[in-house]
Amino acid sequence: MDSKASAIAPQKQHHKTAGIQAIEGKDITSSKTGKSELAAPEDLSKYVQNTSKQYTGDASENKKLGISNPKESADSLISKFGTSVSLNVNEQLSGAVDHVVNGNRGLQESSVDHEKKTSEYGSVKGSSVSAKVSDGASSLAKTSGSAKISDRADLVQSGKSSICRGSTSSDVSDESTCSSFSSSVNRPHMANDLRWEAIQAVRAKDGVLGLGHFRLLKRLGCGDIGSVYLSELSGTKCYFAMKVMDKGSLASRKKLLRAQTEREILQSLDHPFLPTLYSHFETEKFSCLVMEFCPGGDLHTLRQKQPGKHFPEQAVKFYVAEVLLALEYLHMLGIVYRDLKPENVLVRDDGHIMLSDFDLSLRCAVSPTLVKSSVVESDPLRKNPVYCVQPACIEPPSCIQPSCVAPTTCFSPRLFSSKSKKDRKPKTETGNQVTPLPELIAEPTDARSMSFVGTHEYLAPEIIKGEGHGSAVDWWTLGIFLYELLFGKTPFKGSGNRATLFNVVGQPLRFPEAPVVSFAARDLIRGLLVKEPLNRLAYKRGATEIKQHPFFEGVNWALVRCATPPEIPKPVEYEKIPSPASSAGEKAGHHMSIPDQKGSGNYLEFDFF
Ligand SMILES: Nc1ncnc2c1ncn2[C@@H]1O[C@H](COP(=O)(O)OP(=O)(O)OP(=O)(O)O)[C@@H](O)[C@H]1O
């Protein structure tokens, strides 16, 4: 079933407003909308017109780019909430919401000093880690490349990826730790991707890849730290989503760390439901991330097009299953995503999903502890004792790599020694698998961030209360996400942001009478939307607990990536997109004019799907 899923971002419902809030009197930088005009596409497109045909590899050309200043907002988000867990919730919440930025499902971010410190620490540590892990990656890639369609393959990729940082190239980078190779060798599931080859060919020819090698066809949207453009690697018919960030603007708005976090996370990812970063390069003014383009738009837009503005339960099962696998992988890398919402779930050309937007993610070190397996002695893989990693997050977060030196030791069916056979879930709960699934548990559960990060309706209670939070916030947001896809609305939405936050913390979960959804779906939502994180589903064993829930009965986790998606976007007719470099360039330039800020509703609906 085809759907007309546009990649052009309409006005987002959950758009973020971001403010960096200092608790306990630290420096404050705040931005109400956070949607600055980071790159003026007219200028950008003119620039591209001028340079795409005559690229000389000279990055200084980028000086010609005219970028408007970011729009600074005035909102200050100072609050002392979050410093004491013993405060009366209402009092505390009251303090919190007083400083919540108004806006529809806006986002708040407040970083306490300690997180800033740890992030800096993380980036310093990154250099040594990066060097170390690159070596490991190549050897592991050899052992992991073969078994693709199996649960084990998923995990092997995950394990491999976890020590495979820096597999994309940074052409002109201020980060010396980035490795300088770019190869699909390190991304087995992308092995046949022509886009890698196209990029490599340009590098081979010109030495470096730069902005001038791309034609920017269309602005796809604008986030807090940059604008994203549909771009063609000139003359190749290879298309990408390029995030362009104005470095000066980032610096003046104190967003450099966020941009760096996002870049480093993207560089570390290798998963079918997470973005592929093909390249990162810097010009004098811009930092550019070249990513896979998702033509299907986001799930928020797609949901609006569904009858009743909600998805059928089967479709929900599919999307949530893919998101779950992506979150599981992120947690294994020690990354708490923190920003799950339908707007951040993009649809690829094949209908599978891709989580996007990592600038609010929390990175922490996962320090695995061994949990002895007690499974069957007959398993030939188990000549040696088999263990699974149970990482305990340590503070300060130091890097994004779990220090699991031998991930493959976890790829055997296992059950914890504490669990008797009787207690095991019946096979039917794990779908079609005949043998128990391997369980790799790598939950950064103990991570503690005091940041106030998220989107109002998706914020976990512990974030609102400022109790410190870890990976369990992602399971809360998964519950909200599941609810919204099924019912077409979120469960705790109030008349305003303040009311929403009160509801999240204090109101019980309720389900609407319509549409009718299965008991299993509601049960899963109930498990995920437990206000106390310690009692929340998946707190102890992460994604595994969710995978085994009856809602997912029949899901073969190993084959999710091969399952038929509910909807497949119509193929993009790229050639019909007016080329900025063609005679219709002026018109195209006009089409690429952009709104003042994200969420203003001024996006031009350039419906090329
Ligand atoms: N790979 C992609 N393919 C297609 N569209 C994309 C892609 N990446 C981002 N977009 C679109 O570009 C827009 C801006 O994305 P971006 O990640 O910069 O901002 P955001 O998701 O609003 O979050 P933030 O404000 O935190 O940066 C979004 O509307 C998104 O849908």
Active site residues: 339
Q: pLDDT (tens digit, 9 = 90+) per residue, 217-273?
A: 999 999 889 999 999 999 999 999 999 999 999 999 999 999 999 999 999 999 999
pLDDT, residue 189, reads 56
Distance CA(375)–CA(415), nearest Å, equals 6
pLDDT, residue 50, reads 38
pLDDT, residue 501, reads 95
Length of the chain: 609
Nearest CA to ligand 1 atom 27: 223
* β 2-3/387-394 pair status: unpaired
Q: Which atom of ligand 1 is found nearest the CA of 292?
A: 1
How many angstroms is it from 516 CA to the middle of ligand 1? 32
How many angstroms is it from 568 CA to the middle of ligand 1? 20
How many angstroms is it from 521 CA to the middle of ligand 1? 29
Nearest to 512 by CA among 310, 343, 299: 310
Nearest CA to ligand 1 atom 13: 221
Residues of the chain with pLDDT under 50: 1-12, 14-104, 106-167, 172-185, 368-438, 581-609
pLDDT, residue 193, reads 83
pLDDT, residue 18, reads 31
For 602, the token pair is 């001024």
Nearest to 390 by CA among 437, 436, 332, 336: 332
Nearest to 434 by CA among 157, 150, 158, 153: 150
Amino acid symbol at 470: G
Mutation to probe ligand 1, out of 17, 228, 358 (largest number of atoms < 8 A from CB): 228
pLDDT, residue 96, reads 42
How many angstroms is it from 357 CA to the middle of ligand 1? 6
How many angstroms is it from 45 CA to the middle of ligand 1? 19
Mutation to probe ligand 1, out of 356, 458, 597, 605 (largest number of atoms < 8 A from CB): 356
pLDDT, residue 473, reads 94
Number of Cβ atoms within 10 Å of the Cβ of 113? 14
Nearest to 106 by CA among 357, 457, 450: 457
Residue for token pair 């609407």:
512
Classify the phi-psi angles of 247: left when phi > 0, otherwise alpha if psi is within -120 to 50, otherwise beta.
Answer: alpha
- Positive/negative CA dihedral, 55, 245, 9, 589: negative
Nearest CA to ligand 1 atom 4: 294
pLDDT, residue 288, reads 97
Residue for token pair 């919190």:
96
Give 244's contacts (C-beta < 8 A, 6+ positions apart).
38, 39, 44, 211, 226, 227, 228, 229, 286, 287, 288
Nearest CA to ligand 1 atom 24: 223
For 572, the token pair is 């993009």
Nearest CA to ligand 1 atom 30: 221
Q: Which atom of ligand 1 is found nearest the CA of 294?
A: 3
Ligand 1, pocket residues at CB < 6 Å = 7, 9, 16, 220-226, 228, 241, 243, 275, 291-294, 298, 344, 346, 356-357, 359
Nearest CA to ligand 1 atom 18: 223
Nearest CA to ligand 1 atom 1: 293
Give 3-state DSSP helix, strand, coil % of the chain, rounded to 5: 35, 15, 50
pLDDT, residue 19, reads 29
End-to-end, the C-alpha distance of the chain in Å comes to: 15
Q: What are phi and psi of 219, to 5 degrees?
A: -85, 125
Residue for token pair 């919402």:
341
Give 564's contacts (C-beta < 8 A, 6+ positions apart).
351
pLDDT, residue 395, reads 34
How many angstroms is it from 71 CA to the middle of ligand 1? 18
Number of Cβ atoms within 10 Å of the Cβ of 493? 18
pLDDT, residue 451, reads 61
Q: Which atom of ligand 1 is found nearest the CA of 357?
A: 17
User: Residue 30 in contact with residue 79, Cβ under 8 Å?
Assistant: no
Number of Cβ atoms within 10 Å of the Cβ of 368? 21
Mutation to probe ligand 1, out of 220, 274, 350, 355 (largest number of atoms < 8 A from CB): 220
How many angstroms is it from 124 CA to the middle of ligand 1? 27
How many angstroms is it from 120 CA to the middle of ligand 1? 25
Nearest CA to ligand 1 atom 23: 223
Nearest to 340 by CA among 539, 528, 561, 537: 528
